[in-house]
Amino acid sequence: MSHKITVKKRTETGKNVNNRLRATGMVPINIIGSGKASSGSVNEKELDKLVHSGIRQSTLIDLEIEGEGTHKVYVKEIQRFPELDRIRHVDFYKVEPGKKIVTKIGVRTEGTAKGSKMGGQFDHLIHEIRVKTIPEDLLESLVVDVSDLDVGQSIKVSELKVPASWEILVNGDPIVAAVLKTKALLAQERADAKEAAGDAKGKGGAKKGGK
């Protein structure tokens, strides 16, 4: 899906200038890249539409900057008014081809775990991972197929299928998703084990009696 928004350049900054911008339906933004920052503004309705389209920090956006053409960026920070459901300010970061960036990428699962059908409890534990990667390998979200996950099994971060350029920035090797044994399954296992032990004891007694 393509994400784009038009930017009007601005040279004046400050609280009063920003307030006047917002009164005209515009939102002040900063565009940061190569150690430099420039100021601009975007239409508030267009920005709301962009944000509500489901973009994440790892989503690449085409900024059509007045007089400069189009630049690839991603959202670094969105500031909101605490008392209102309105965006106050946005920081966009320019990306350079081949130059690694650090960002967060969503993790979602697809399919129904086999263990869930057997009565296990499916848990999706990690919904977002921090990675260092080149812009060309960015994904809006990483999709993990959990269909083959059985009771007692899990998928760890080290088992995720990711692009070769990705460096996943996590401590240790945490579990992304798992199917846990429920109390009902544990009780059933105990009952089955007890029944099996009883059967074995009964067979042993029968053999002893037959002699």
Q: Give the pLDDT confidence of 19-43 residue by residue, as tens digits.
A: 888 899 999 999 998 788 888 999 9
In the structure encoding, which two tokens stand for residue 210, read together? 């037959």
Ranges 11-20, 47-56, 100-109, most confident = 100-109
Tokens standing for residue 101:
């960036």
Q: How confident is the model at residue 200 (pLDDT cuts 50, 70, 90)?
A: low
Strand 141-145 and strand 167-168: pairing? unpaired
Q: Quick check: 206 pLDDT over 70?
A: no
Domains of the chain from N-terminus onward: 3-95 (2.40.240.10), 103-198 (2.170.120.20)
What is the rounded distance in angstroms from the CA atom of residue 39 to the CA atom of residue 6? 13
Q: Label residue 189 by pLDDT band (50, 70, 90).
A: low
Helices (H), the chain: 15-23, 44-52, 114-117, 183-210
122 has a pLDDT exceeding 80: yes
